[in-house]
Structure 1
C-alpha cells in the first residue's frame, strides 16, 4: 500500500486537473482503487497508464482512439498512425492559410489602411473564401481536363433550387467527424453500414446531376487525396475515404 498515492499527488506529478482524472476514469481509461470512504488511490500501474494517455494525446490522438489503443483489443496501429499523420498535415495546411491571411492584413496596416475589428473579420472571411476557391481550382486543374470542368460547371445549376452549399458542406464535415471518431471499425458491421448509407444519402444530390464519368472522376480525385491534401483541405480524411470504399466493397461482394 506504500506505493499508492491520492489524487492530489497525481495532480501535482502530472499537471492534470482532478476533473480531468475523474473524466478519464468515467471513460474507462483508468481505474484507481477506492477506499471505503470513496477516496481514490493510484498505484504504479495507473500512473503508467496516465503517462501513456498523456503521450498519446501529445501525438494528437483523441480519447476515443486512445481508449481503443490501450484496451489491448486488435487494432491496426499502422492505419491509426497514417490517419493521424493526415490530420497533422491538414492542420499544417490550415496554419499556412492562417499565416497567409494574417500577413495580408498586416500588409494593409503597414500601408496605413485603417483596419478595425469588423474589417479584420471581414478580410479573414473573404480571404478564406477566396483562398479555398483558388486552392480547389489548382487541384481541379491538376486532375480534370477542361472538358470535364466545363461539364461540371454546366450541370451544377441543375441542383435543386435553394440548395444551400454551405449547409451541405457542414453535413459532410459532421458525418466525416463521426466516422473518424468511430475508426477503426469492421466494414461489415451494422454501424459501418449505417455510416455508408448516410454517405450515399449525402451524395444523392450530385448523383442526380452527374454522369457516371463525372462520378468516376471525383472518385479518382479522392483516391489520390494524399497528393493534394497539403494544398487544399479535403472534406474528409483519407482514412474515412478508404473506410467508405471498404464498406462499399463488402456490400458489392
Structure 2
C-alpha cells in the first residue's frame, strides 16, 4: 500500500466485513482516528487498518473496549504478539476456526521474517477475526434477553427452520422493505401492509416453535441500536420500525390478524 493511499468508510467495510456502524463506534470510543478529506469524509490509511486489526484481535482475545483503549494508548502493540493472543483465545474452538488459525499463524510467520503485510492480508485478518467476534458479540447480546436455558431452547427449535431457502426468502423480503422505505412508502399504506403480511408469514414457523420466547426476541430487536456495535443485526432499525408500524396499521384496519390470533 502506498503512503498516500486511503479508503472510504464504505470501502473499509466491504474489504474487512466490519459494519460502518462498528467503524464509527470505534472512532467514537477513540480507538481509531481516520483522517478527513476536504469534504470531511473519513479516509482510512494503512495505519488505521493496522489499528483496526489490533482492536479486533484484542476484542477476540477477551479484552474490553476500555482495556483495549488503555493498551493502545500505552504502547504500540507488535502485530505478531496480538495475533498470537487471538490464536491462544480460539484454541478451544480449533475445529470450527481452523481456517482462521491457519491464516493467523501464516501471517505471524511472515511478520517474524520482517515481511510487511499488504492491504489484502490486513483486510483478510480483520475479516476472519470479525467472523469470530461476531459470534462472541451475539452471545453477549443474547445473554441480556435470554437465560442460558431459553437460549438453548431457541437454538434447538429454530435452527432446523433456518434453511438456505428460508434465509434467501428473508433476504429478499428485507430488500423489498428497504426498497419501500427508500421509495417513501407510508407504513399504513396497502403496499406496506402487504409486506407486513409476508413478514408475519415468514416468522410464523419460528414464532410457533418458541411461543414463550418471542416477546424477548421482539424486545431484543427493538433495542438493536443499543447492541448493534457488538453484533450485526439481520436487518436495520429502519426496517424493523417500518414493519412494526405496518403490522400495527394492518391490525387497526383489520387487514391482518390480531396479535396472538
Q: Please show how residues 1-253 of structure 1 align to structure 2 within 5 Å.
A: 91-95=20-24, 96=26, 101-103=52-54, 107-108=79-80, 111-112=111-112, 115=117, 119-120=121-122, 122-159=124-161, 163=164, 167=168, 170-171=171-172, 173-183=174-184, 185-207=185-207, 210-253=209-252
Separation in structure 2 between the aligned mates of residue 231 and residue 139 of structure 1, nearest angstrom: 7
Separation in structure 1 between the aligned mates of residue 230 and residue 214 of structure 2, nearest angstrom: 22
When normalised by structure 1's length, the TM-score is: 0.50
Separation in structure 1 between the aligned mates of residue 196 and residue 136 of structure 2, nearest angstrom: 31
The structural deviation recorded for 1:192 is 0.8
Separation in structure 2 between the aligned mates of residue 123 and residue 149 of structure 1, nearest angstrom: 30
Work out which of the two has the higher radius of gyration on C-alpha atoms and give 1 or 2. 1
| Partner SS, residue 198 of structure 1 | helix
Query: Relative to 1, partners in 2 of residues 1:126 and 1:202: Cα closer, same or farther, differing over 3 Å?
Result: farther
The structural deviation recorded for 1:207 is 3.5
Query: Relative to 1, partners in 2 of residues 1:250 and 1:92: Cα closer, same or farther, differing over 3 Å?
Result: closer
**Deviation readout 1:41-76 (Å, 9 max, x if unpaired):** xxxxxxxxxxxxxxxxxxxxxxxxxxxxxxxxxxxx
Unaligned runs of 5+ in 1: 1-89
| Contact map agreement 2:187 2:249 (CA 8 A) in 1 | yes
Provide the aligned C-alpha RMSD in A. 3.5
| Partner SS, residue 252 of structure 1 | helix
The structural deviation recorded for 1:251 is 2.0
Query: Relative to 1, partners in 2 of residues 1:118 and 1:94: Cα closer, same or farther, differing over 3 Å?
Result: closer
| Contact map agreement 2:161 2:205 (CA 8 A) in 1 | yes
The structural deviation recorded for 1:124 is 3.4
| Partner SS, residue 143 of structure 1 | coil
Separation in structure 2 between the aligned mates of residue 243 and residue 174 of structure 1, nearest angstrom: 13
| Partner SS, residue 112 of structure 2 | coil
The structural deviation recorded for 1:119 is 4.9
Unaligned runs of 5+ in 2: 1-18, 28-47, 58-77, 81-106, 253-261
When normalised by structure 2's length, the TM-score is: 0.49
The structural deviation recorded for 1:139 is 0.8
Separation in structure 1 between the aligned mates of residue 169 and residue 122 of structure 2, nearest angstrom: 27
Task: Count the aligned residue pairs.
Answer: 161
Separation in structure 2 between the aligned mates of residue 243 and residue 220 of structure 1, nearest angstrom: 15
Query: Relative to 1, partners in 2 of residues 1:122 and 1:167: Cα closer, same or farther, differing over 3 Å?
Result: farther
Query: Relative to 1, partners in 2 of residues 1:124 and 1:176: Cα closer, same or farther, differing over 3 Å?
Result: farther
| Partner SS, residue 177 of structure 1 | helix
